[in-house]
Structure 1
Amino acid sequence: MNGTASIGECMLELSGTGTGDWKLNHAGDTFNVNWALRALLPADKPTDYVSAFGDDPFSTQQLDFFAASNIGTAASPRIPGARPGLYAITLTGAERSFTYWRGDSAARRLADDLDLLSKSLQNKELIYFSGITLAILEDPARANLFEAIRTARKAGSLIAFDPNYRPRLWTSEEQAQRAIAEAVRLSDIALPTFPDEQALFGDENPEATAERLAALGLNEIVVKNGEEPALVIADGRKELLPALHVASPVDTTGAGDSFNGGYLAARILGKTPFEAALCGHRVAATVVQVRGALAPFEALQKAFAG
């Protein structure tokens, strides 16, 4: 097995430049992780972004951007008449808020065809997906996604999952809780963010989040908590690993995603979970110093190397 697959939705991103203008980029939670993986893994380890794409000019531009960045799309379908979703980042200082236009995006159909999805996930060393991946799918497509991931895991793929709870994407808390619990049961690594888990499950602290996930069968858990230390549980150990303080962050968009990418790249390259978390913190600290969700490959590589 070789390479990685990240499953989800890459959107058009409008980010402010600080001068009143807007810059068009490509981003989305699972794509941000894929971007970091591509930057940090050797060139001979392919990184595929598994989704569905439209046939409009913006979709073509997005696919050209992937190709120029050496990011593949495996067997992802291209759907006539479909188009990508769009979001805009509004900043207050370095803190961000988002406005979305994604109701009819092509990515909502990424798991409609189980055979194509399964083909995209074959022989992958690592498969990554998130709660947002789950939330954009209708129930039958979500069932297809679970089936494809289950099959890939049985074949030897390592499965990593970030619950990444976004209330507006779900019809109810109960629906989100059921789907996320099922995803956790299919996973080997969980990368939750404590405020999200507290909002959805009422966890009192990161330790409660880790205990709940461990009860579902997980042995490798990293509970992120913004600028607070990350709680890492693995190999029978539990350790709090402090984040790196950034005195003047520019934009916190994608910080948690970039942590995930740094962590997973380090794990693929043989580092322990505790070493990997430190790599993740360094990568995240780099991303918050640029506008938008994607930092240049060179900056990510320098941070990862320490």
Structure 2
Amino acid sequence: MKIAIHGRFFGDTYNALVYAKRNSPDLDALFFTGIGNDDISKTMVSQWRKEGICSSFTLMSDKHTIGIYAISTDDKGERSFSYWRKNSAATQMMVMKPVKTLIETCPAVDCVFFSGISFAILSDLDKALLIEFIQGLSDKGIKIAFDPNYRSAMWQSKEHAIHWLEKAYSVSDIILPGEEDHQALFNHNGHSEIAQYCQRFNVQEIVIKCGEKGTFVYFENEFVVHLPFEPAPIQVDSTAAGDSFAGTYLSQRITNNDIALSLNQAAKVAGLVVQHRGAIMPTALYNQVINEI
């Protein structure tokens, strides 16, 4: 008996990169991660190329392959996750090459985006190496963006998550925290509490996602704009809502659009994504409807 299992390739930083590239097709989009040297990894890279994503800075392992996770959605489109990531190639990415080599060979880019999930899959020693790598890129003048994307099941404890998320905040220029994440970790309520806390880390731009209260942005310690929440006509699947928001917002900012315009475009794309199943909308459908928003 033969069983064919059909899946899709996605993950939070990959999803963000796809939507960044779709929003600004002229951007060079590179994905730093670890993959295997097997057929499924090669198939995944082929899919990246179809999305215009370059694998030239992706690390390859002969001993490991890609991680797997499953998403279930309820009747309201909310999701739950199951993970099979232990010893995946991505968990080994910080030990495949010395950090100094990674910093020296990283292509010239304008912005690097990483997430709390990027952190959570790594050992603590490798988390420290990732911070060292990110700091080295920041020292080269590259803008750093970070989304906490907190998943409690992926951390040893709240204290463990807080320790490393604060490390990430301290090396970032732009952060995209959610009120829900900060409520769970710090018992923060409202954008002003979150902003006050984040400003301790000298973050230049803070984009705070507060659910039905909308999104609030602070720039250089000043509140600059609030975008009210506008629900999608229907919510089929909330997978990649935050990822598509982050990717679109960052692509807009990288191409020198102002905060209000970037925020508005990001929110509209996220509202579009939740009306369709899966993290990555079909390219043709995205291109068809994007000009309408």
Matched pairs, number: 285
CA, structure 1 residues 162+304, in 2 after alignment: closer, same or farther (shift >3 Å)? farther
| Alignment match, 1:17 | none
Matched with 1:18 is none
Contact 2:236 2:274 in 1 (8 A): yes
Identity %: 32
Equivalent residues in 2 for 1:74-153 (5 A)? 74-93=56-75, 94-112=77-95, 113=97, 114-119=99-104, 121-153=106-138
Q: What letter matches 1:281 in structure 2?
A: A
Distance 1:115 1:174 in 2: 29
Q: Give 1:159's aligned residue.
A: 144
Q: TM-score, normalised by structure 1?
A: 0.87
- CA distance 1:120–1:167, change in 2 (3 Å): farther
Match of 1:232 among 210, 214, 217: 217
Aligned-pair CA distance for 1:219:
2.4
- The CA deviation at 1:120 is 5.8
Partner of 1:13: none
Task: State the Cα distance separating 1:65 from its structure 2 match.
Answer: 0.9
Q: What secondary structure, in the 3-state scheme, does the structure 2 residue paired with 1:156 have? A: coil
CA distance in 1, matches of 2:208, 2:108: 28
**Which residue does the alignment assign to 2:55?**
73
Given candidates 180, 184, 207, the residue that maps to 1:195 is: 180
Report the Cα distance in structure 2 between the residues aligned to 1:184 and 1:110, rounded to whole angstroms. Answer: 21
Alignment deviations for residues 3-53 of structure 1 (CA, whole Å, 9 cap, x no partner): xxxxxxxxxxxxxxxxxx98511111111101111111233x210110000
Asked if 1:168 is matched to 2:150, the reply is no
What is the deviation of 1:273?
1.6
Match of 1:37 among 20, 41, 55: 20
More displaced 10-residue stretch of structure 1: 296-305 or 236-245: 296-305
Unaligned runs of 5+ in 1: 1-20
* Runs of 4+ with deviation above 6 angstroms: none
Paired residue type of 2:211: G
Pairing 1:47–2:3 present: no
Q: Structure 1 residues 277 and 179, CA, compared in 2 at 3 Å: closer, same or farther?
A: same
RMSD: 1.9
How many angstroms apart in 2 are the aligned matches of 1:195 and 1:86?
A: 25
What is the rounded CA distance, in whole Å, between the counterparts of 1:100 and 1:304 in structure 2?
A: 36
> Does the residue aligned with 1:218 lie in a helix, a strand or coil?
coil
Partner amino acid for 2:251?
A
Offset from partner CA, 1:183-233 (integer Å, 9 cap, x none): 111010010111011101111222211110012211210111234300111
Structure 2: tracts of 5 or more residues without a match: none
Query: What residue identity is the alignment partner of 2:90?
Result: A
Provide the rounded CA distance (Å) in 2 between the counterparts of 1:243 and 1:177: 28
